[in-house]
Chains A and B, each alone.
Chain A
Amino acid sequence: QQQVKQSPQSLIVQKGGISIINCAYENTAFDYFPWYQQFPGKGPALLIAIRPDVSEKKEGRFTISFNKSAKQFSLHIMDSQPGDSATYFCAASLRNNDMRFGAGTRLTVKP
């Protein structure tokens, strides 16, 4: 089965620090790479997404870095805040065909 491998499983960062979550995929046909954020008691919500024609996308404090040759992409959260504490999921999808999720990273930002 095509998988998306996500690491680390959990992450603790001090307020103001940088949080980095990594994902690796296998299927080179994937063409859409979203990140979802999930708070307790809620469903995942789309945070930011990238397509493989660009190497980086930034939205506010959130940045996706994409390395097509390595089949890896990562989420960087700058100036991490306690309100960013949540579980983050990466995913990879093949338009009209398939979507695979990583196992999630539980981020805790300490005040």
Chain B
Amino acid sequence: ETGVTQTPRHLVMGMTNKKSLKCEQHLGHNAMYWYKQSAKKPLELMFVYNFKEQTENNSVPSRFSPECPNSSHLFLHLHTLQPEDSALYLCASSLQIYEKLFFGSGTQLSVL
């Protein structure tokens, strides 16, 4: 395993639901990331936290809300999502920002 654990692995939600994705890293890393992975597209960076401070919000719609309570945990809160938000959501961490990212296995999200 990579040392980055994501839960749940699969999530199906309706457009009016509220859910949260959780990520935990056991590597002592300082930076954590949320990426969106859609078929045949580059990985899309959504949010970056470095030493618990958000350093990047890549024009992500407000229906996605990140939370980083400490350097080991990262959450992505979801509400009123759209079907086009269906994708694999990957969490990653690194010791130094933007170098040697370690990814979790992702949460496969389906929005109905």
A binds B: yes
Are A42 and B42 interface neighbours, CB within 8 A?
Answer: no
Tell whether A43 pairs with B43 under 8 Å between CB atoms, given A34-B100, A96-B97, A99-B98: no
> A81-104 CB contact bits vs B (8 Å, 1 = yes)?
000000001000111111111111
- In the complex, which residues of chain B have a beta carbon less than 8 angstroms from the beta carbon of A96? 96-98
Are B40 and A104 interface neighbours, CB within 8 A?
Answer: yes
Interface presence of A13 (CB below 8 A): no
Interface presence of B99 (CB below 8 A): yes
Contact of B103 among A41, A43, A49 (CB under 8 A): A43
- In the complex, which residues of chain B have a beta carbon less than 8 angstroms from the beta carbon of A43? 2, 4, 6, 90, 92, 103-106
**Tally of chain A residues near chain B (CB < 8 A):** 26
Minimum Cβ distance to chain B for residue A25 (Å):
12
Of A3, A32, A43, A101, chain B has the most CB atoms within 10 Å of the CB of A43
Interface presence of B87 (CB below 8 A): no
- In the complex, which residues of chain B have a beta carbon less than 8 angstroms from the beta carbon of A93? 98-99
Contact of A103 among B6, B42, B90, B99 (CB under 8 A): B42
Closest to B92 in A: A43
Interface presence of B101 (CB below 8 A): yes
A contact set with B: CB distance below 8 Å: 3-4, 9, 32, 34, 36, 41-46, 49, 89, 93-104
Chosen A-B contacts, 5 in total, with CB atoms closer than 8 Å, are A4-B42, A42-B106, A43-B104, A96-B96, A101-B43
B contact set with A: CB distance below 8 Å: 2, 4, 6, 40-43, 45, 90, 92, 96-106
